Amino acid sequence: MAKAKKSTKKSAKKATQKTVKKVVKKIVRAAKPKGPVERVGVIKLGENPATIIGNDVVVGQTAPEFSVQANDWSLLQGLASTAGKVRILAAVPSLNTAICDKETRTFNERAAALGDDITILVISSDLPIAQKTWCSGAGIDKVRTLSDHLDMDFGVKYGTYIKERRWHRRAVFVVDRDGKLVYVAYMPQLGLEPNYDEVLAAAKAAL
């Protein structure tokens, strides 16, 4: 009888310990901060599906604030630093690729006719010094290039971060003076350019 009672106590103790462990595991899991969403198959790198970190943004939502680095390595808030203006945000893989080079030069040329109330920010994961060197060689003076290299904050918040290469997928966003997204376009392939006329028309309509 005594043995049976001892065995029952041991079983109860083990059951209690297991329950406690399960509860603790659940609490620990719940306490762990969840990382950004990862999506596969949204876009391809060559013939292979790429992994995109972060969710797409949509027209009508408040544009997420983001931290980037200027060409002099200083940190800045992309939207706060351009408050009061209509913003065109162009995410590109790298300025040292042919399509990105062409896109940035095109926006720089078209910016001359936009006036001071519209600003164009081209964001890539290139180092600030690499962006500065490229801009100097390309004669870029109306478009501002910003680096997301430090922690890919823009890429995660706007759903442009390609995990396999630490690049951005090509996309363009227009943010109005109130910080709302009024135009969103994600290119289905890295080699495709945006519709410049459509982007500029959306920016002008937001004035």
Catalytic residue among 100, 118, 174, 175: 100
**119, β-bridge pairs:** 87
Judging by DSSP bridges, how do beta strands 144-147 and 86-91 pair with one another? unpaired
Cα gap 183→86, rounded to integer Å: 11
Written as one letter, the residue type at 183 is Y
50: its two tokens: 């790429």
Cα gap 114→98, rounded to integer Å: 25
Cα gap 61→180, rounded to integer Å: 6
Active site residue 100: yes
Active site residues: 100
